[in-house]
Amino acid sequence: MERSCNGAMLCFWAFFVLIIGSHQAFGCLTEERNALLLIKAEFNYPNYTSLPSWNAVDSSDCCAWEKIKCDGNTGRVIEISLNFTREYLESYDSTVINSINVWSLNASLFLPFKELRSLDLSNNFLSGWTETNGFKILSSLGNLKSLDLHWNNFRTLKYVGTISSLKALDLGSNGLEGSFPNEELTTLTNLEKLDLSVNYLNGSISPSIGSLNFLKTLSLRNNHLVGSLPFEGLCKLKNIQELDFSVNKLEGSLPLCLGNLKSLRLLDLSENLFKGSIPHLLIPSLTSLEYLSLSNNRFGGLISFGSFANLSKLQVFKLECSNYKVDIETEYPPNWTPTFQLKILQISNCIVNRGSGVVPSFLSKQYDLRSVDLSNNALRGYLPTWLIGTNDKLEALNLMNNFFVVPRNLSSVHTNPNIYKLDISANTLRGRLPPKLGYLLPNLGIFNASGNALQGGIPKSIGQMKKLQLLDLSNNNFSGEIPNELIMGCFSLTILRLSNNSLHGQVFPRNSNLTELYSLYLDDNHFDGIGRGLSFSNYLNTLSIRNNHISGRLPSWIGNLSNLQTLTLSKNQFKGPIPTSFCNLNKLVFFDLSRNNFSGAMPSCFNQSSLRYIHLQGNGFTGSLPNVLARSPDLVTLDLRDNHFFGTIPNWISKLLKLRILLLKGNNLHGYIPTQLCHLNKLGIADLSRNRLSGSIPSCLKNITLSETESDEFRLSYGWTQFRSLFTYSYENKLDDIITRFEPNQYEEEFIAAYRTTLHNGDL
């Protein structure tokens, strides 16, 4: 009877525990639920609306809330993932951005979560903890294994070493400073993953890094680390699988003991100052290697790709050489066979197969390539279009700046629906593009064939490339008109460069579907008109049709292209006045109508405050110097040479405090040179010659500064004779050449440099 009673009592307690356990499994603890609501209030202060599923209603189970994971047995919260939770408010004022977005969080709010294993607070603009010992508070969470604070604004690691249970710590993209590793980190002996990338860590890497015995992943990418690698500490990391030291200032030779890290899968040493030869036994020893990047260092010597033959897991190899110091040999030993199948290969700016310049033959045995970059290697022979056919997953192929020639049958290019980027620019290609190119590569998004000797018409089939965003065929010998199929079919096109060819006809004579067009470069061709089809490109930012044969009046509808910032129509035969509709171009920065037959006065409404560069040289403009220019306070260059402007140099010119180049030569200006020019303390070049000016030259102009930057100390002091010669020196051809060759933000400094060279050579 007693045994039966005891058995019944045991069953009762078992049933009671089962009921209680079931209740916990189907609902979170009240204490943790309330804590989560307090955290929500912190994230939403003062009036944000994140985490709408976190409901204060009593029946709401926090285990079902977004970004929360509970243990299935205990019902306790084990993961809190609040990444990208804090709302971000946009503002043009950086001080406002900091004040409304950067905030701190109370670490004590997480203390109720006794079973918490993972806490993710990344991408929330956190400046740190409210408490100075915030990390120490988190050390009370004895089960915390993963802490992700990526992309915040933490400045210190103080007390992080107290969270001894951590296996993964991510503080990448914060504001951390100091040495690595500091004492706090060396106490985290259980760490398996440590990400401190994109911070401000400095100094050399301490050998104490060797104390992190269990480390599998270490990223110190993009810091300010210097010195050589500490082989006595680094080579103790026997469990390391990923090492990323890229974008620092590390130097010295690579320690041979790195070859002992047999578990290493990723090694990225790019963008540093490492030098010397790469030990020939180092890379072949890393048999687990999948990703290797050595780009942009100071390595020298020879790398034999055949020594990589047994790296069967290798998928990514990247080496962009500096100053052509590295020899890459891919053909020795003869007939070697790779055991790897690469996905990404970058070998650029190197000396590949010195003497022969042949394309690496091992590529004929690669069938899984996604991206290939063989640019700037002085490779020779036929353009290796076969890579497109043998790798149907290939997305990007860069063969720029080699000495490739057109294969015997370029039309035999295989169809590849996946390739998105193809760059064959700056080679020695002659002949025609395949007529069916658009059908062979229908999903091409970026195509650059500039800088060759290609000829014939632009293939009409390019109109089949519906995803094409950038097309650059400049600096070739193409002829004919722009195909209507291109204008109507390539509706994703944003950048079109056809400069320096022999194209003719009208620019977009009919309707156009290029509604996304952002930049259009048609310089140095034989176009004779601008069609209204261009008016459909409302997002156009840059329009450059310099040096063509376009005559007549400027189309007034160009003034409706309200997003234009660069307008270059120089060296044509335009005539008549500037249309008043151009007053609508209120974003215009670079305006060049030089060397045409324009006449009349500049419209009085033309008061673009955004203007920085104005070139109206070599026209027939009349009237006094336009007062509207006083409303362009950011003007850097004002070129009104060789027109019919008359009157005096106005006093308002002193308001153009950023002016560096003032060219008024060859007009009918009279009177004194105003002393207000002395206020233009950034003025580097002034040409007032061939006018009817009189009187003395203001003495302040003796110290005119010819600097490329404001910090330059190169100064010239002119006496009367020397200053007068400034008005007549032979810089004009240099200036015109620079204006036409460079983008607006480049040409000014190039011209200043050219002028200084002219002066130095005594050509004044």
Helix, strand, or coil (residue 507): strand
Per-residue pLDDT tens for 134-171? 999 999 999 999 999 999 999 999 999 999 999 999 99
The pLDDT assigned to 729 comes to: 32
* 62 part of a folded domain: yes
Helix, strand, or coil (residue 739): helix
- Among 71-85, 292-306, 508-522, 740-754, the minimum mean pLDDT is found in 740-754
* 74 part of a folded domain: yes
Q: Give the mean pLDDT of 159-186.
A: 95
* 231 part of a folded domain: no
Structure tokens at 658: 């950023």
The pLDDT assigned to 454 comes to: 97
The pLDDT assigned to 656 comes to: 94
- List the strands of the sheet with 200-205, edge to edge: 177-180, 200-205, 224-227, 249-252, 273-277, 298-304, 326-329, 351-352
Contact 85, 112 (CB under 8 A): no
* 9 part of a folded domain: yes
d(CA 231, CA 209): 10
Per-residue CA distances from 471 to 69, 137, 367, 394 (Å):
49, 57, 28, 19
Domain housing 24: 2-81
The pLDDT assigned to 740 comes to: 47
Q: Give the mean pLDDT of 448-465.
A: 98
* 49 part of a folded domain: yes
Residues in the chain: 764
Per-residue CA distances from 436 to 412, 462, 463 (Å):
10, 8, 10
Per-residue pLDDT tens for 675-733? 888 889 888 888 999 999 999 888 877 666 544 433 332 222 222 223 333 333 334 44
The pLDDT assigned to 699 comes to: 80
501, 492, 505, 552: which is closest to 525 by C-alpha? 501
The pLDDT assigned to 57 comes to: 86
The DSSP bridge pattern shows strands 403-405 and 380-382 to be parallel
C-alpha 347: how far from chain center: 20
d(CA 126, CA 726): 57
* 73 part of a folded domain: yes
d(CA 197, CA 102): 20
Q: Give the mean pLDDT of 79-97.
A: 74
Contact 424, 404 (CB under 8 A): yes
Statement: residue 467 has pLDDT above 60: yes
* 223 part of a folded domain: no
User: Domain total for the chain?
Assistant: 1
Statement: residue 114 has pLDDT above 90: yes
Q: What is the mean pLDDT of the chain?
A: 88
Going by C-beta distance under 8 Å and a sequence separation of 6 or more, which residues neighbour residue 233?
205, 206, 207, 208, 209, 210, 211
The pLDDT assigned to 322 comes to: 78
Maximum distance among all Cα pairs of the chain, rounded to whole angstroms: 131
The pLDDT assigned to 279 comes to: 87
pLDDT classification of 98: cutoffs 50, 70, 90 = low
**What does pTM read for this prediction?**
0.86
* 435 part of a folded domain: no
Helix, strand, or coil (residue 368): coil
The pLDDT assigned to 714 comes to: 23
